[in-house]
Amino acid sequence: MAPNQILTAAQMRSAEQRLIDGGETVESLMERAGAGAAEWIWRLSGGRAVTVLCGPGNNGGDGYVIARVLAARGCDVQVVAPIAPVTDAATTARARWNGTPVQRASGEVFVDCLFGTGLARPLSDDLAHSLSDLALAHETRVAVDLPSGVHSDTGALLNDHLPDYDLTLALGAWKCAHWLMPVSAKMGERRLIDLGVGEGSSDLALAQPPRLRGPAADEHKYSRGLALVIGGEMIGAAVLAARAAQHSGAGYVKLLSEHSHPDLPADVVHIDGDLEEALADERLNAVLVGPGLGRGDLARHVVATVLGHDRPTVLDADALAILSPELVPSDPSRILITPHAGELLTLCKAFGIVREGKVEQALALAEASGMTVLAKGPDNVLAAAGKATISPPAPQWLSTAGTGDALAGIATSRMACGETPSAAALTAVTVHAEAARLAGPMFSASGLIASIPEACGSFL
Ligand SMILES: NC(=O)C1=CN([C@@H]2O[C@H](COP(=O)(O)OP(=O)(O)OC[C@H]3O[C@@H](n4cnc5c(N)ncnc54)[C@H](O)[C@@H]3O)[C@@H](O)[C@H]2O)[C@@H](O)CC1
Ligand SMILES: Nc1ncnc2c1ncn2[C@@H]1O[C@H](COP(=O)(O)OP(=O)(O)O)[C@@H](O)[C@H]1O
Ligand SMILES: [K+]
């Protein structure tokens, strides 16, 4: 199994076909999927009654296998089947279940096997009502493969008022919807059931935690990495970024700004000099520009000047409102851009990109600009050179002002330490999420930054 790959519905069908070409049958795969799901549901149910909602396709077929396996273990199981099976495998699974569906059921554990990756259009009103009524009538809800009513490739909700689940059991491989908003917020816990699907031709993967290394015995402040954060009209944002950078591995962080700030710690070196001169420092390993920069002529000049030098660079916030195809340097591969959803839309317009879905947009922007794109938010999509990575969800307490500045500071620090833009972005997202967990609820950006050293410690 390749547990990190994320497949589209079409890639999943090809993977299934490869297994069938290798001697499996749809029925044998369905048995494995149903038995694997039943094992989880058995443990979760703890002897409670189970209701399985079965649809017409193979997701429904999985449901009949689950019902049969649970019943054989002595579980009290009922099946609701608003549409009869239409595939051979689902018809066989229903016959082997050998029971009679009921019209309605209420009880303890609800298992959604209405639709999986084959859902082609929104649920009809009748089916949507059956689904939400049954879900509401049960204490615990499990989705098999995917919650019904969602788009497997984009994570979009195709119907209003779809239920939330406690557990989602992905079959064979992760699908995009397991990790993309808004669907990912409905999944509850996620578990992957192995069906023997090998490595496919997927360009999409689930991010893995980074491994950080501490300084070598002979390291000094410059060899650990010198980062430059460029301030602008709102100096507070750059101060947050510089403080975050300082706690993320770089040996030396400088803040270039004509303004001072009362919260600037003594260990961030404040310089009030010439930008060209600061950029000309040969020891400089990475630059951040954008947080609090402003969007006027001076800001444009600053962004153009930074991009005119060949330093590894992070562009965030206001710099993203300024960025356009004309400003892209000849070697854009050293640049990381970190747009939130609004900035991603602005950039797509600026670069003439017309695509649906965050993954597609991030990939297209990376291709058009040649830069590494971290499309951040409740789901984080990293795209570079035709490949994309989605990070597991971070605490929603991050939805507070200044946390993006901190993220940009962490990424800049990691690039100053020598990581590539992609590696730095993945490290930054993971450390940021861990710092948020450690900071607990209701933190501000400063509280988040205070937790960064301990968060980094988790990955050393
Ligand atoms: N890919 C694999 O390797 C395996 C897949 N299995 C299961 O098979 C599922 C995919 O099966 P299917 O392709 O049959 O897809 P589904 O079970 O998701 O349903 C597709 C069927 O529903 C119909 N349909 C689509 N949208 C509809 C709507 N809005 N209203 C009414 N009918 C609609 C389609 O015409 C088709 O007949 C997976 O999610 C998984 O649960 C497992 O059984 C075994 C292994
Ligand atoms: N609901 C959420 N769940 C998890 N992370 C979130 C959520 N909302 C925002 N974030 C994260 O918080 C940060 C916010 O960045 P941004 O919008 O640029 O804020 P700011 O510009 O105020 O610093 C990003 O890293 C984003 O991924
Ligand atoms: K389902």
Cα-to-chain-centroid distance, residue 210:
15
Surface-to-core class of residue 44, CB atoms within 10 Å of its CB (0-12 exposed, 13-18 middle, 19+ buried): middle
Among all bound ligands, the one having the nearest atom to the CA of 241 is 2
pLDDT recorded at residue 295: 96
**Cα of 148 from ligand 2 centre, angstroms:** 28
pTM of the model: 0.95
Q: Please answer whether residues 132 and 161 qualify as being in contact, where contact means their C-beta atoms are separated by less than 8 angstroms.
A: yes
* DSSP H helical ranges for 46-169: 58-72, 88-97, 125-136
Q: Residue 315 corresponds to which tokens in the numbers above?
A: 């562009």
Cα-to-chain-centroid distance, residue 353:
21
Please indicate if the annotation marks 164 as binding a ligand. no
Res 441 pLDDT > 90: yes
Q: Which CATH class is domain 6-200?
A: alpha beta
**Cα of 168 from ligand 3 centre, angstroms:** 9
3-state secondary structure 358-393: HHHHHHHHHHHHCCEEEECCCCEEEEECCEEEEECC
Res 200 pLDDT > 80: no
Please indicate if the annotation marks 457 as binding a ligand. no
What value does the mean pLDDT of the chain take? 96
Q: What is the pLDDT of residues 205-228, one digit of tens each?
A: 999 999 999 999 999 999 999 999
Using CA atoms in the order 202, 203, 205, 211, what is the torsion angle rounded to 10 degrees?
Answer: 130
Q: Please answer whether residues 331 and 309 qualify as being in contact, where contact means their C-beta atoms are separated by less than 8 angstroms.
A: no
Alpha-carbon span 11 to 17, nearest angstrom: 10
Q: Residue 434 corresponds to which tokens in the numbers above?
A: 């861990």
Alpha-carbon span 39 to 44, nearest angstrom: 9
Alpha-carbon span 453 to 138, nearest angstrom: 43
Q: Please answer whether residues 403 and 432 qualify as being in contact, where contact means their C-beta atoms are separated by less than 8 angstroms.
A: yes
Q: Please answer whether residues 110 and 134 qualify as being in contact, where contact means their C-beta atoms are separated by less than 8 angstroms.
A: yes
Cα-to-chain-centroid distance, residue 161:
23
- Pocket (CB within 6 angstroms of ligand 2): 317, 340, 376-378, 380, 394, 396, 398-399, 401-405, 407, 432
* Cβ–ligand 1 contact at 87 (below 6 Å): yes
Q: Residue 110 corresponds to which tokens in the numbers above?
A: 């609800």
Q: What is the pLDDT of residues 382-399, one digit of tens each?
A: 999 999 999 999 999 999
Alpha-carbon span 27 to 29, nearest angstrom: 5
Contacts of 132 (CB under 8 A, 6+ apart): 161, 162, 163
Q: Regarding predicted confidence, which is higher, 63 or 265?
A: 63
Q: What CATH number has the domain spanning 221-457?
A: 3.40.1190.20
Alpha-carbon span 301 to 289, nearest angstrom: 12
Q: Please answer whether residues 236 and 257 qualify as being in contact, where contact means their C-beta atoms are separated by less than 8 angstroms.
A: no
pLDDT recorded at residue 262: 84
Stretch 284-306: mean pLDDT: 97
Q: What is the pLDDT of residues 133-142, one digit of tens each?
A: 999 999 999 9
Q: What is the pLDDT of residues 73-103, one digit of tens each?
A: 999 999 999 999 999 999 999 999 999 999 9
Could you tell me the residue ranges of all domains in the chain? 6-200, 221-457
Contacts of 70 (CB under 8 A, 6+ apart): 38, 41, 42, 45, 50, 77
